[in-house]
Amino acid sequence: MPDVTLDQLADLRDSLYEAVYDDEQWGGAMRQLRETLGASSLAFGYWGDKTLDQSRIYGDCSDDYENLFFNPALSNPFIPALSRAETGAVYNDAALMPKSEFHRTSVYNEWFVPQGEHSYLQGKLPVDSTVAAYLCVLRGGQQAEFDSPDIALVQQIAPVLSRVAAMRRRFGALRLREEADAYGSLNVGYMVVNATGRVLFVNERMGTMLDKPQSGMAIQGGMLAVVDRTQRKTLHALVGRACGSRSGPAGSGGDMIVSAPETGAPSLALTITPMRDAAIYGLAAARTAVIFAQDFSMRLPPRFEERIGTLFKLTPKEASLVAGLASGQSLQEAADARSVTIATARTQLGLVFRKTHTSRQSQLVSLVLSVLPVHRTL
């Protein structure tokens, strides 16, 4: 264990607290921590026991080696050990298995050896009720193996690291909400999901959109769900592409439309993009995607009813009904909104079908949306 004075520990504490408020100082604070611990490299981040999600705040190894460390194919014994460990536990590799056994593992030969490392120390630090922080410290070359005094030093520093991780998570949540509220003010839904589709954050506007049965999308059991099976597969694929894989970087995501279940009309326009800085927002998930949503019902242009009434010779009541269907309402919802019975709405819809030469609601909605004005002032 390196000789560490109380003044050095105080300087380290101050650097870590300053980094909470200024991301540009984070790298310097982590390098100071590495020197204090006499390590060759380290990593620090968030860990979710229930989801097994992790988000690296800082790490000395490359992205490729970070992804490999958490890749299930590597059978890394330190991952299940981190899940099983009590919060506050600090231990070295020798606590898990004898060195001779450790040297035969895939993680040692495929991860440690190529990076010139040979000794490992790991800590699981409390943050809040759902997330812990992890600290991984390594030594290589001619450095000594981690021993009991090293564990004691990390335990001495651990309360500061826990406090810093908790503060950073709270500030990150505020930053995330500010960004999401900004999109909400533009009538854009904002949602963060992990690679499996678990919802990590949703803004108020997105929540309002998903509360409508005609949206075709909902949150069920904390997971994002789409009613249409084909669209569900498409969304899953786009989220997977945006999040990337355990062994690869995040991708590009994509765009899609979610349809209203009853009418088949376009309901939500989605854009799925990678979230490459989840740790900055205090999220314990390395592979995350942002889903932006725009509600088609909010995008019918002014004078829409007047225009389709003129084009198809509809009465004002018929044009109003068609506008409701085009905005994503079901026939029952359109009838209720116009204070008519469902029987009256069906009669009106039948007359509209004849005038527009259509036979289904989805066909009708596609037709009227295809003749939107080419200029917003028309």
Q: Where are the domains of the chain?
A: 6-171, 186-298, 304-370
In tens, the pLDDT along 192-202 reads 999 889 999 99
Question: In angstroms, how far is CA 33 from the centroid of its own chain?
Answer: 29
DSSP sequence for 154-183: HHHHHHHHHHHHHHHHHHHHHHHHHHHHHH
Say if CB 293 and CB 226 are below 8 A apart: no
Answer whether CATH 3.90.1150.10 is correct for domain 304-370: no
pLDDT confidence tier of residue 376, bands split at 50, 70 and 90:
very low
Q: Where are the beta strands (DSSP E) in the chain?
A: 41-47, 54-59, 90-92, 117-126, 132-140, 189-194, 199-202, 217-220, 223-226, 254-259, 266-275, 288-295
Task: Classify burial at 350, counting beta carbons within 10 Å of its beta carbon; exposed 0-12, middle 13-18, buried 19 or more.
Answer: exposed
DSSP sequence for 351-373: HHHHHHT--SHHHHHHHHHHT--
pLDDT confidence tier of residue 327, bands split at 50, 70 and 90:
confident
CA distance 338 to 204: 27
DSSP structure class, residue 198:
B
In tens, the pLDDT along 302-313 reads 788 999 999 999
Residue with tokens 């040692």: 108
What average pLDDT does the segment 156-165 reach?
A: 95
Instruction: Give the residues across from 91 on adjacent strands.
Output: 122
CA distance 323 to 289: 33
Give just the sign of the alpha carbon dihedral 33, 38, 42, 44: negative
Neighbours of 360 (CB within 10 A): 11
pLDDT (0 to 100) of residue 297: 66
pLDDT (0 to 100) of residue 377: 38
CA distance 106 to 191: 37
> Token pair for residue 245?
């894989």
Q: Which helix (H) or strand (E) holds 70?
A: none
What average pLDDT does the segment 77-93 reach?
A: 93
- Taking the model in full, what pTM does it have? 0.69
257, 263, 227: which is closest to 345 by C-alpha? 263
What counts of helices (H) and strands (E) characterise the chain? 14, 12
Pairing of strands 199-202, 189-194: antiparallel
- Domains 6-171 and 304-370 belong to one CATH topology: no
In tens, the pLDDT along 212-234 reads 888 999 999 999 999 999 999 99
CA distance 217 to 234: 13
Q: Is 84 helix (H, G, I), strand (E, B) or coil?
A: helix
Q: Which residue has the higher pLDDT, 369 or 347?
A: 347
Say if CB 9 and CB 15 are below 8 A apart: no
DSSP sequence for 22-54: -GGGHHHHHHHHHHHTT-SEEEEEEE-TTT--E
DSSP structure class, residue 77:
T
Domain 186-298 in this protein, CATH class? alpha beta
- The overall average pLDDT reported for the chain is 89
Q: Is 116 helix (H, G, I), strand (E, B) or coil?
A: coil
In tens, the pLDDT along 29-38 reads 999 999 999 9
For the segment(s) 6-171, the CATH number from 3.40.640.10, 3.30.450.80, 1.10.579.10, 3.40.50.12370 is 3.30.450.80
CA distance 292 to 253: 11
Please state the φ and ψ torsions of residue 252, each to the nearest 5 degrees: -115, -15
Neighbours of 73 (CB within 10 A): 10
> Token pair for residue 25?
């100082």
